[in-house]
Amino acid sequence: MYDWEKMKKIIILIPVYNDWESLSKLLGEINKTIQEIKNVEFNCIVINDASTIQIPKIELPKNIVSLKLINMKKNNGHARCNAFGIRYLSKKDDFDYLILMDGDGEDRPEEIKFLVEKAITDENTSVIARRIKRSEGFFFQLLYRLHKILTLIFTGKNINFGNYSCITKKDIKILSDKESLWSSFSGSLKYHIKKLNSVKSIRGLRYCGPSQMSFFKLVIHSLSIIAVFKKIVFLRSAMLLIISSYLSLSLSINVVIFQILLIIFNLMIFIVSLRENRKDFLESDLNVKSSNQYTH
């Protein structure tokens, strides 16, 4: 149980697309967790990413002070809902921290207390949930490890976290006009915020239904993170091309294949980087259709 002298205000941001059953269970689990945390006021913002099913009645748990439901006109995807939410909150001053989490149970609500404790202990530094164990199958975990290796090689960064995090208001304002946020949260956070604390995190199981992460989405997700560092990637790739050229006399076929693959990889990074649309990001509030406020 934690107790701090000064009351802190934390907003939990949750994007949802059709998965309202999971959201209902998640809110209940959050309610159980935060009742142990004293002198912290919890509010929630749910971003309805243009769901195609009817939204059921939302029951506001007693330990969450308020819940704002923001309905979007057009489906933009999970990452862009988070980007919109960060920009939306950057214009407000009535909070201290923002917690980003998925609405399907894979970000375990019982870990909120660890994020909050770490954030308030070092109140000027954002905290990420560092994955130490995942719940997916062998093939997905193999691809995830490959993603981490490629990211480390081409960016020099070990990005072992997703969206689940507790971000300071100061860092929210820093991120709020960075176009890379429109494509990748974790890549943008690692690139633009120099100091981050972390807590250990275990990837949870989905509350309802199968995972929505297809192979194609996983590839785009991985490339989007790396694309945030595209200048570094292009520079390192150029160095690899130059170095490999000196080996072409003795390993000509293998070197040529390597160089072709490297060029293809860089083309893919460039194409994915075009997702970083600054205009769409800065005007993302135009996609808001309506909003509803739930309070006790």
Q: What is the pLDDT of residues 34-92, one digit of tens each?
A: 998 999 999 999 999 999 999 999 999 999 999 999 999 999 999 999 999 999 999 98
- Per the model's pLDDT, the better-predicted residue between 150 and 253 turns out to be 150
CA distance 256 to 244: 9
pLDDT of residue 141: 72
Quick one: tokens of 5?
């002298």
Confidence grade of residue 254 (pLDDT, cut at 50, 70, 90) = confident
Write down the mean pLDDT value for the chain: 91
pTM for the whole thing? Answer: 0.91
Report, in this order, helix, strand and coil percent for the chain, each rounded to 5. 45, 20, 30
pLDDT of residue 135: 59
Q: Hunting for tokens 């890379």 — which residue is that?
A: 180
Confidence grade of residue 1 (pLDDT, cut at 50, 70, 90) = very low
Confidence grade of residue 144 (pLDDT, cut at 50, 70, 90) = confident
Residue 211, pLDDT > 80, answer no
Which of 47-61, 213-227, 238-252 bottoms out in mean pLDDT, i.e. has the lowest?
238-252
pLDDT of residue 230: 96
Which of 43-57, 109-123, 131-145, 245-259 bottoms out in mean pLDDT, i.e. has the lowest?
131-145
Classify 13 in phi/psi space as left (phi over 0), alpha (psi -120 to 50) or beta: beta
pLDDT of residue 185: 96
* CB-count exposure of residue 186 (10 Å: 0-12, 13-18, 19+): buried
CA distance 226 to 186: 10
Average pLDDT of the segment spanning 259-273: 95
Confidence grade of residue 143 (pLDDT, cut at 50, 70, 90) = confident
In the three-class reduction of DSSP (H, G, I as helix; E, B as strand; rest coil), residue 133 is classed as strand
Length of the chain: 296
Residue 107, pLDDT > 70, answer yes
pLDDT of residue 137: 65
